[in-house]
Chain A
Amino acid sequence: MSRLTDANIAIAYEIIGRYPRPKSALIPILHLAQEQDGYVAEDAMKHIAELVGVTPAEVFGTASFYEMFKFEPVGKYLLNICGTMSCALMGAEELMHHAEKRLGIKAGSTTPDGLITLEHAECQAACTEAPCLQVNYRYRFKMTPADLDTLIDDLAAGKLSDEIPSHGVLATVRQRIPAERGVGAVAPEKVNESPEWLDGKSAL
C-alpha cells in the first residue's frame, strides 16, 4: 500500500529526534507503518529509508529479522497460540488443534473472510497462566477449547473491538517528551565531557 501519512511522518520525526543516531528509530517507525496499513508495505519501507537516511534494502534487512513485522496483509486479528514448554505441558497442542479445526485453517494462514490469522507462538511470558494466547498481542489466560470458541465468536461479532484494536496497533499510548522538559539527543561524538552531576557533590 502506501507511504506514511503526514500525521505519521510527524510522529516519525518525533521518534527519530529521540535517538543520537536516526537509524535507531527504525523498528519503532516500522511499527508505525504496520499500524497504518496493518502490515509493512514496500512503499512504506522505501519511505522509511528516506526518513531515516538508509537504503530500502537496509530497512527490509532489519525488518525481515523480526517476527512481528508482516510483509503482506494478515487478518484483522492475529491469534498467537503459545506452544513453548509450560503451555505445552498444560495442553497447548490440544488448543492449537481445536483452533485449526474450528477456524478450518492451518496455523500460519488466514480465514477466508480475513478476520483471523492463526499462528504458533513461542513463550509469551505468562507461563503460570498456561495455556495462554494473544490476540493482537492482548493476552488471554488459561484457555480451554470452550474459551477459545467464545473468543472466536466474540471477535466475529465485533464484541471486542474496543479492547483489541486491529492488527498493527500495538500500544495505544505513545511516549511524548515535552520540548521544554526533554534533554534532547546529541550525537555521541559531540560529547567529550563527563555529565554535570559527576562533580563529587550532591545534586540537590
Chain B
Amino acid sequence: MTSTYAHAPGFVAGDRPKIVTSRFEFSDSYTIERYLATNGYAGLRAALAQPAGSVHDEVKNATVLGRGGAGFPAGTKWGLTPQEVWPRYLVVNGDESEPGTYKDRLLMERDPHQLIEGCLIACYAAGLSRCFLYIRGEMALAQERVATALNEAYAAGYVGKNILGSKFSVDIVLHWGAGAYVVGEETALIESLEGNRGMPRLKPPFFPAANGLYGQPTIVNNVETLANLPWLLCNGSEAYTAIGTKTSPGTRMVAVSGHVKRPGVFEIINGVTTFRDLLYGEEFCGGIRNDNQLKAFVPGGGSAPWFTPDQLDLPFEASQVGPAGSMLGSGAIMVMDHTTDIPAAALTLTRFYAHESCGKCTPCREGGTWLERILTRVVEGTGTDADLDQLIEVGSSICPGDFPHASNADLGLSAVPFPYKMTTICFVGPSAYAPVHSALTLFRSEFEARVTTRKRIPVTAVANSTTGHAS
C-alpha cells in the first residue's frame, strides 16, 4: 500500500520500515507538539543518559553511512578529529542542490525537530561545541520551518545551555546560503560559512575533521545522516543494522524523477531494493510513462555515470554499484525513456556543471565551458565529427585515465566515487564530463547522426585562396 500526502508533495509512503519519514503522514509534523507526541527528543534523552563515548560507539556499530554522496560512515568520520584540539564544530550540510536530489529539503520542511535532535546527538557524542546548520539559500520554507523549530526547541530547553538540565550545552546556529551549487562540497561549505566565496579548499593534506571551520576540527554531516540518529538512539544499533544489509544498513531516501509513471521520493531499504523495484515496482514508480521502453537512467544524481536497462537488477548498494561503473551519490535517479533526445539530455547536465563551476581550477572553469559549447553545437546540428573527439579530449583533461573507475580494494574501500583521477580539487569538473562521457559511450550513434557531414575546409586551402598563390 502506498500513499501520498497533499502536505508533502513528492513524498510517497509505503509499507516499509520508516526511520526518517515516520512523521510525514501528519500534516503538522513540523511542530514541536507533534514531535513530542511521537517520541520526539527521546533519542536525545537516551543519549544523555550514557557517556558520550558509548553514544559514539553506538553510531559506529550501526555503520550509519553518510547520505550526502560519498557514503563515508558517520561514526568513523567523528573519530578522525585530532586528539586534544578544541573547540570542534559541527557543520550540517543542508545545501542540497545536486540535480535530481531532494530529500534533505523534505526532511527540513517536514521534520525539522528530528534534524535538530540528530545535531544534538552528534555534538554530544563527538564533543562538538557549536553547530552551524547551513540551509540552501533558495529553500525559503525549509529556513522558516527550521528557524521556528529552533526557536521552539530553545524555549523548551532542548537546545542551548544545560540541555534537559544536564551539563551538555550547545548552540545550533541557523545559517543560510545564497545560491551556489559548489557550496555543497564540504570545504566550500566551510569557506562560505566563514563569509568567503564558496570555493573548495585543497585536500589532502587537511580534511575538515582535522582543519575545518576557522582552522579547527570540523565534522560536516549531511541532513539525512543526522536525521537517522534519533531513531538509532531510541532503538539501538542492532535494530538499525537489522534493516538493510551488513555493508549498507538502515534505510535511505531516494528521489526518482523523469519519465516514470509515478515519480516520487521514497524511503527504501538500503542495499536490498533494486533499481528495477524502484522503476517498475507497484509500490514505487509503477513503470515507465506510457509503457515506453527504458533507455537509460542516472543512478545517483547528476554527477553519476549513467546506467542502461542492463544494470536494472543492481541493488541500492555502493559495493555493487561502484564496480558496475557508477555511484549511488545522493540518492537521485533520473529516468529517460526511448523518446529521449540523449545529446540534449546530456547537455542539460553539462550546462548545469559549467554554470556552477566556481572558477578556481582551470580544467573545470575552461573545460566545463568548452564541453557545454561543443555539445551545444552538436545538439543544434552544426557540430562536426571532430567535435565528438574534442569532447573526449577536453573531458580527459579534467579526469584523465580510466573513467569511471569505481572500486579500489587496495585502499580497503569497496567503492570509491568516480573518477579515479582528476585534475580539479572537487567533483564539479568531473561531473560536467560524466554525462557527456556516459552519453557518448552508450549512444554514440545519436551524436553521429547529429553532426554535419560537411568536411572542414583545410586552413591551408583558405590561406592560399586569399593570397592567390597556389602551391
Contacts and interface: CB of A to CB of B under 8 A. Distances in A.
Interface of A: 18-21, 23-28, 30-31, 52, 54, 61-63, 65-69, 80, 83-86, 88-90, 122-130, 134, 136-139, 141, 170-178, 180-186, 188, 191-198, 200-204
Given A123-B97, A191-B87, A203-B168, A27 B177 contact: yes
A1 to B, nearest CB: 19
Nearest to A193: B86
Contacts of A126: 9-10, 102, 105
Interface of B: 9-10, 45, 48-53, 84, 86-87, 96-102, 104-105, 124, 127, 129-130, 136-141, 143-144, 147-148, 150-151, 154-155, 157, 159-161, 163-171, 173-181, 192-198, 214-216, 255-259, 263-265, 298, 302, 332, 334, 336, 340, 344-345, 348-349, 352, 355-356, 358
Contacts of A65: 180, 197-198, 358
Contact of B196 (A62, A85, A127): A62
Contact of B102 (A20, A83, A125, A192): A125
- Judged by DSSP, the binding face of B is mixed
- Judged by DSSP, the binding face of A is loop
Contacts of A83: 348
State the 7 A-B residue pairs at the shortest beta-carbon distance, nearest first.
A66-B178, A26-B195, A23-B195, A67-B179, A128-B263, A127-B257, A171-B143
Contacts of A174: 147
Contacts of A197: 52, 124, 127, 166-169
A172 B148 CA distance: 10
Contacts of A25: 195
B100 A123 contact: yes
Contacts of B197: 61-62, 65
B169 A196 contact: yes
A170 B344 CA distance: 34
Given A193-B86, A203-B166, A171 B48 contact: no
Given A62-B196, A127-B99, A183-B160, A204 B49 contact: yes
Given A24-B194, A86-B99, A89-B340, A200 B53 contact: yes
A195 B105 CA distance: 31
A176 B151 contact: yes
Given A18-B171, A127-B257, A175-B173, A27 B140 contact: no
B257 A128 contact: yes
A26 B193 CA distance: 9
Nearest to B348: A88
A24 B334 contact: no
Nearest to B10: A128
Given A171-B140, A177-B171, A197-B169, 10 more contacts: A52-B195, A85-B302, A122-B97, A127-B102, A127-B258, A127-B263, A128-B102, A137-B139, A174-B147, A191-B86
Contacts of B105: 125-126
Nearest to A64: B197
Contact of B178 (A54, A68, A122, A127): A68
B352 A84 contact: yes
B86 A192 contact: yes
B129 A195 contact: yes
Given A122-B355, A194-B86, A203 B195 contact: no
Given A127-B334, A177-B160, A27 B175 contact: yes
Contacts of B173: 18-19, 175, 177, 185
A27 B195 contact: yes
Contact of B160 (A68, A127, A181, A203): A181
A171 B175 CA distance: 12
A69 B344 CA distance: 30
Given A62-B196, A89-B334, A171-B144, A198 B52 contact: yes
Q: Which of B52, B138, B192, B332 gathers the greatest number of chain A CB atoms within 10 Å?
A: B138
Given A127-B332, A138-B140, A141-B9, A203 B167 contact: yes
Given A127-B332, A204-B166, A84 B99 contact: yes
Contacts of B169: 183, 196-197
A194 to B, nearest CB: 6
A178 B194 contact: no
Nearest to A136: B140
A182 B168 contact: no
A19 B192 CA distance: 13
A173 B112 CA distance: 14
Contacts of A176: 151, 154
A175 B230 CA distance: 23
B306 to A, nearest CB: 11
16 contacts: A24-B195, A66-B178, A69-B179, A85-B258, A85-B334, A122-B181, A123-B100, A125-B97, A127-B334, A129-B9, A170-B176, A173-B143, A195-B87, A197-B52, A203-B167, A203-B168
B165 to A, nearest CB: 8
A49 B10 CA distance: 42
Nearest to B146: A175
Nearest to A201: B51
A52 B429 CA distance: 33
Q: Which of A27, A28, A127 gathers the greatest number of chain B CB atoms within 10 Å?
A: A127
A50 B136 CA distance: 26
Contacts of B53: 200
